[in-house]
Amino acid sequence: MDLVINKVGLNGVIDIPSDKSISHRSIMFGAIAEGQTTIRNFLRGDDCLSTLKAFQDLGVKIEDDGEVITVHGAGFSGLKPAKQAIDVGNSGTTIRLIMGILAGTSFTTELFGDHSIAKRPMNRVILPINQMGAVCTGHDGTEFPPLTVKGTEKLSPIHYQMPVASAQVKSAILFAALQAHGESVIVEKEKTRDHTEDMIRQFGGDISVSGKEIRISGPQKLVGQEVVVPGDISSAAFFLTAGLIIPDSKITLKNVGLNPTRTGIIDVIQQMGGKLLVQESGSEANKAGTLTVETSDLKGIEISGEIIPRLIDELPIIALLATQAEGTTIIRDAEELKVKETNRIDAVATELNKMGAKIEPTDDGLIIHGKTPLNGANVTSYGDHRIGMMLQIAALLVESGKVELDKAEAISVSYPRFFDDLTKLYR
C-alpha cells in the first residue's frame, strides 16, 4: 500500500491502544485462576485474539460482549485437552508463555503458528521446561515450531540462571513454577518487564523479587480478578517519535502505561533532548499517564546495557528517531532483536537505508548517523508489525517521491486502528 506522505505538522490528542503484554496475560491468568475474571480495555489485535482462542481451545469459557471480556476460570486443573493443534498465529508471546502453563497438565498439546513463528527459537523455553519434568519437542527434533508439549502433574522446581534477558522466557518458567512442587529460583540476566510478577500478586499468588532474583513456591492457586488494561507504551512510541521529528507537531497521548520496566524510551527521549511532558496517574501497582511531545532538536547518544530490555520493542522506532538527531547514535547489547518477528537489526538498516538513512548493522545493534533526509522508496515490513509502523512514520518525513509498503497488513497484530489515528493527527 502507498503510505501517507505528510506535508503539515501532526497535532491532536489520541488514546493509545491497550497494552499487548498485559492483554495476553489477563486471558492467561483468568484461565488458570479459580472463579471469574473480568477484563476491560482488552486489546483486540490479532496476537491477543490468538491467546483468547487458544484458551477457548483448552476448554476455558470466555465471553466477549465487545466491551468486557469475562473469563470463567477453573484453575490449572480445569484446562482440557484441545481437540486439535492450537494455532498461535504470529504471536511469540502466546506460544512461549502457554508452554509454561501446559507443562503442568496431564495431557499433550500441539502448538503451531505462521511462517514467522516457525522461525522463532524455542530452546530458551524448551530447555528449562523440560528440566522441570515436562517433555517439549520441536519440529523434526529441532527447536522450532510446530511444538509438542507433554505435560506432567509432577513438575519439579528449578533453579535457573537465565542466559538471555527475556520476559517471555521468564514468564513461561514462572507459569510452570506456579504448578511445581517446591521453591523455584530464577535469576535474570537483566531486569525485564515484570507484568507477570505483578499479576501473580494481583491474582492472589505469592512471589518474592530481590534485584534480579525471583523466588516462587508451588503449587499455588490463583483467584479471579478484575483487570483494567492501560495503554501500550510500545504503541505510543510511534507517535512519540512522530511528534518529535515531524516539523510543527505537538501530540498528546492519553492513558499510557508507565510500568518502570517498560519506560526506557522515555529515558532515551530525554537524553536526546526531546521535549516530553509526563503527567502520571493511576496507582503504584498500575502506573499510567498522559504524555505530550513536540518537535525537538535531538542529539545522538549511546543506548546499551541494562536499559535495553526496558525498550527492546521500541528500538526500531528509536532507530528512526536517531536518523533525525545530530551526530551518531549507537545501539549495543540488542542481540535479541535478531529473534523477534524478523531480524529487526537487518530489517531496520535495510529498509531505512533504502530511504536515504545512514545506518550500519552490527552483531548486537546499530550505528545510526544523523541527521539525514529521507526519500521515497519501495519498502517491506517483512510481516513485522513494528517495522511496518516505523516505516509509516518514516514516510511522513519524505519530501519527494512516494513510499510503498509491502505487507502493511501486519500492523493489525498490535495496532488495528494505527492508520485511523494517524489520519486524525494530520488532518
Q: Known catalytic residues? A: 313
For the chain, the distance separating the N- and C-terminal CA atoms, rounded to the nearest angstrom, is 20
| CA distances to 161, 257, 262, 275 from 251, in Å | 42, 17, 20, 11
Q: Locate cell 527434533: which residue?
A: 141
pLDDT of the residue at 282: 66
Task: State residue 283's pLDDT score.
Answer: 64
Q: Provide the edge-to-edge strand list for the sheet that holds 208-210.
A: 159-161, 182-187, 213-218, 208-210
Using only the alpha carbons of the chain, give its radius of gyration: 21
* pLDDT at res. 426: 84
CB-CB neighbours of 123 under 10 Å = 14
Those residues of the chain that have pLDDT short of 50 are none
pLDDT tens-digit readout, 319-338: 999 999 999 999 999 998 98
Q: At what angle do helices 233-245 and 264-271 cross, to 10 degrees?
A: 20
Q: Which residues of 265-299 are buried (b: 16+ CB within 10 A; e: fewer)?
A: bbebbeebebbbeeeeeeeeebbbbbbbbbbbebb
| Residue 270: predicted pLDDT | 97
How many other CB atoms are found less than 10 A from the CB of residue 63?
10
Ramachandran quadrant class, 9 (left: phi over 0; alpha: psi -120 to 50; beta: rest): beta
By the 8 A CB rule, do 348 and 331 touch?
no
Residues whose CB is less than 8 angstroms from the CB of residue 343 and which lie 6 or more positions away in sequence, other chains included: 337
Q: What is the pTM of this model?
A: 0.89
The answer to whether 87 and 58 are in contact (CB under 8 A) is: no
Q: For residues 385 and 89, is the Cβ–Cβ distance under 8 A?
A: no
pLDDT, one tens digit per residue, over 220-237 is 999 999 999 999 999 999
